[in-house]
Structure 1
Amino acid sequence: MTTPRPAHVAMFSIAAHGHVNPSLEVIRELVARGHRVTYAIPHVFADKVAETGAEPRPYTTTLPSPDDDPEAWGTELIDNIEPFLDDAIQVLPELARAYEGDEPDLVLHDITSYPARVLARRWGVPEISLSPNLVAWEGYEEEVAEPMYAELKVSERGRAYYARFIAWLAENGIDQDPDPFVGRPPRSLVLIPKALQPHADRVDESVHTFVGACQGDRAAQGDWERPAGVEKVLLVSLGSAFTKQPGFYRACVEAFGGLPGWHVVLQVGKHVDASELGEVPANIEVRDWVPQLAVLRKADAFITHAGAGGSQEGLATATPMVAVPQAADQFGNADMLQGLGVARHLPMAEADAGALREAALALVDDPEVARRLAEIQTSMAAEGGTKMAADLIEAELAKARA
């Protein structure tokens, strides 16, 4: 195979671990293949991006940062989507200036990066979405989006949001409604296992290619050692954003504290202090952060919020999961995991000590759960991952240059 001529590839994302982490190994691979990769990212993530060999292009964002209280995102649907448009409008001129005279040959972008799509069309270069979670299938609008957004679209605030979005797109020469602009990219690489995609048989694979998890070795995050002599290791983590749940962590302490043979790694995030948990038994290790993949490689069970990253890491390491979703796509992921026969979906309102303990014990002792996990782990290993993603990006570059 002929090595493609090196190109300038520009990646655009937001300051959120669940949106940046899935793309990092793809970026690292493109750099290793000789391409110059610039990565537009808020300042707080510039160092993380630089570790891949890409050139960070830091920009100023108005979105809540990973260290902000999750309540900064509000409580209503409009609270969750409006900030992305606000941020896009204010950051587009800054990003345009940052790339003036250094326009890329191809644009990669996270699903939340609206300015990237505008700029790709302005520059006349290919755009590829790197999706860190599920993508729309044929029928998605009618089955999911329209019922979800119906009330919003008739509200005063919702109408103002859509009018502003349409006007912004039109100002930038884009004659497209906001919903397909956001949800229907012309080309997409899906960085989750196909097993996690709802209605995968109805996804247009001429647009969306499932490359699966692109995890890398994560050695830079450090390792974790399983304590000698323990029979079972349980990891509890609600990810990096919606972690302000002291009551839930207390329920975990009650459920597994002192349980014979069990060791618990309890990640509580930055918004909860260990002192809020009361007396913590010796078999529970409380941390504000852990190298999650390293722990899962040695764990027997995982209580997770069912974010896309955590869900696929649980599948990749064949770890049974108790899914306690908090927001966004996590509820759908929890249902998918339960449907696959490898997890129990436990709503937060029902996640008391007894239910958590019962679910975890049942999963780790079930040979059918282990069998299903092994099957999925094998299918994931064949999906191609980082190498396939880089190959497909180079194929789009070759097409554009033909």
Structure 2
Amino acid sequence: MPHVAMVSIPFHGHVNPSLDLVRALVARGHRVTYANDPSWAGTVRATGAELRPYASTLPGDGGADLDGIDQLTLFLDDAIAMLPQLRAAYADDRPDLFLYDIAGSPARLLGSAWGIPSVQLTPTFVPWNGYEVEMAPAIEAMRAGPRGADYYRRFTEWLTAQGSPITDGPTFLGRPDRGLALIPRALQPHADLVDRDVFSFVGPLLGGRSTSGSWSRPAGAEKVLLVSLGSAFTDRPGFYRRCIAAFGGLPGWHTVLQIGRSVDPAALGDVPASVEIHSWVPQPAILAEADAFVTHAGMGGSSEGLFHGVPMIAAPQAADQFANADRLAALGVARVISSETVTTGELRSALLALTTDPAVAARCAELSRQVRAESGVERAVDLVEAVLPTAHGRPARPARF
């Protein structure tokens, strides 16, 4: 039985995109182990995989309030701490293939050292031909400061010490041997310039995420709105109060409001019966029923919104969310707001404008069709199996992506 090892970090945005692929690999008869923090044991077991625990050094919020350099440093520190733990976990049970989230890059080092092929799973956009030139000014600006210079120096020294043929940090992370992009092509910048011999777009893999739970539209709810700012940037009680005021009294609308674990529901004041409040929700199940989506425009939420064909109000908070929000607006399926300054009236107007515009409805339907056509767990499994070595050490099928 081929042994596939998946390596990730303990965050929803990095684990969720891999779950259906892992589940499908198990269903095809592969033995799958999943290296992650012990807190994810239940999620891993639900896919049929076996947890290989490692102790993550990452804080629970992923350093949400830190600037870019400090966040990068956190993830580098975690990678450095992860590598010896992976080496020990797999020393006596070497896999036939490493799958790894982009933040699980120590798996690539281990695979290279042990002669084991690896495939990167990327839950965000991937580099394109010319990406390094376009990003050079930003990277050089980070290198110019003492913290940035220290980060890049440490990254290069670590890669060099591990015998990596690639010793430049951004190149090591962005240019894998092979990669699956777990996003719609519609969200990928310069999709026509992506190296298709390295990366394959398989879309968001959402089909059977049974562990996320179920949800049903309440009786009498003519339209459903989901409001969610994801898992990291959820401490926004003022924004939630404005959402309740904006949407709670709209005739025929039922609102599902996810507030995360930092906000006390009592801080939201009086909540009408048309609004249900949860710290966590089964997002894919609700989006399958939803008529609109207020989202922080993380890549996972943006992809799921496109998959389900719902118009979106994008309230980006950090990182790639601003670019994703602008892209959704350019695609004609979203309006971009600021969660800090948007008024109750502006929220209500944005929702009604999006959900009554025939052009928005047509774009949502067309993009949903495109995303569903390009997405597929079975295709993703085929691509992974193409890289698995046979008993003779050669790929079972051509590994061209």
TM range (shorter): over 0.9
Tell me which amino acid in the other structure corresponds to 2:394: R
Other-structure match for 2:107: 116
Counterparts in 2 of 1:3-402, with a 5 A limit?
6-65=1-60, 68=61, 72-143=63-134, 145-176=135-166, 177-398=168-389, 401-402=394-395
SS at match of 2:385: helix
Distance across 2 between alignment mates of 1:321 and 1:353: 16
Q: Is the 8 Å Cα contact of residues 20 and 208 (structure 2) preserved in structure 1?
A: no
Distance across 2 between alignment mates of 1:76 and 1:381: 36
Q: Deviations over 1:174-217 (max 9, x none)?
A: 14211100111111101111111111111111111001121123
Q: Is the 8 Å Cα contact of residues 12 and 39 (structure 1) preserved in structure 2?
A: yes
Q: Deviations over 1:98-157 (max 9, x none)?
A: 1112111111100111211111111111111111111111122222x3233332201111
Distance across 2 between alignment mates of 1:266 and 1:384: 28
Tell me which amino acid in the other structure corresponds to 2:34: Y
Q: Deviations over 1:10-32 (max 9, x none)?
A: 11000000100110110111111
Tell me which amino acid in the other structure corresponds to 1:153: R
Q: Is the 8 Å Cα contact of residues 258 and 282 (structure 1) preserved in structure 2?
A: no
Distance across 1 between alignment mates of 2:80 and 2:295: 34
Percent sequence identity over matched residues? 56
Distance across 1 between alignment mates of 2:132 and 2:341: 31
Tell me which amino acid in the other structure corresponds to 2:152: Y
Tell me which amino acid in the other structure corresponds to 2:150: A
Distance across 1 between alignment mates of 2:270 and 2:148: 47
Gaps of 5+ in 1: 1-5
Q: Is the 8 Å Cα contact of residues 46 and 211 (structure 2) preserved in structure 1?
A: no
User: Larger deviation: 254-263 or 80-89?
Assistant: 254-263
Q: Is the 8 Å Cα contact of residues 234 and 264 (structure 1) preserved in structure 2?
A: yes
- State the Cα distance separating 1:259 from its structure 2 match: 1.8
Distance across 2 between alignment mates of 1:208 and 1:137: 10
- State the Cα distance separating 1:221 from its structure 2 match: 3.1
Tell me which amino acid in the other structure corresponds to 1:262: W
SS at match of 1:214: coil
- State the Cα distance separating 1:164 from its structure 2 match: 1.0
SS at match of 2:387: helix
Q: Is the 8 Å Cα contact of residues 73 and 79 (structure 1) preserved in structure 2?
A: no
Distance across 2 between alignment mates of 1:306 and 1:236: 11
Distance across 1 between alignment mates of 2:138 and 2:316: 18
- State the Cα distance separating 1:319 from its structure 2 match: 0.8
Shift in alpha-carbon separation, 1:290–1:9, aligned structure 2, 3 A? same
- State the Cα distance separating 1:172 from its structure 2 match: 0.5
Q: Is the 8 Å Cα contact of residues 14 and 41 (structure 1) preserved in structure 2?
A: yes
Q: Is the 8 Å Cα contact of residues 28 and 54 (structure 1) preserved in structure 2?
A: yes
Distance across 2 between alignment mates of 1:36 and 1:165: 33
Shift in alpha-carbon separation, 1:46–1:244, aligned structure 2, 3 A? same
- State the Cα distance separating 1:373 from its structure 2 match: 1.2
Distance across 2 between alignment mates of 1:124 and 1:398: 11
Shift in alpha-carbon separation, 1:331–1:217, aligned structure 2, 3 A? same
Q: Deviations over 1:18-63 (max 9, x none)?
A: 1001101101111111111111111111220111111110110100
User: Larger deviation: 24-33 or 252-261?
Assistant: 252-261
Tell me which amino acid in the other structure corresponds to 2:234: T
Distance across 2 between alignment mates of 1:289 and 1:83: 26
Tell me which amino acid in the other structure corresponds to 1:401: R
SS at match of 1:401: coil
Shift in alpha-carbon separation, 1:108–1:271, aligned structure 2, 3 A? same
SS at match of 1:348: coil
- State the Cα distance separating 1:360 from its structure 2 match: 0.9
Aligned residues: 392
Q: CA RMSD in A?
A: 1.5
SS at match of 1:39: strand
Q: Is the 8 Å Cα contact of residues 324 and 351 (structure 1) preserved in structure 2?
A: no
Tell me which amino acid in the other structure corresponds to 2:355: V
In the superposition, the TM-score normalised over structure 1's length comes to: 0.94
- State the Cα distance separating 1:398 from its structure 2 match: 4.5
Other-structure match for 2:399: none
SS at match of 1:9: strand
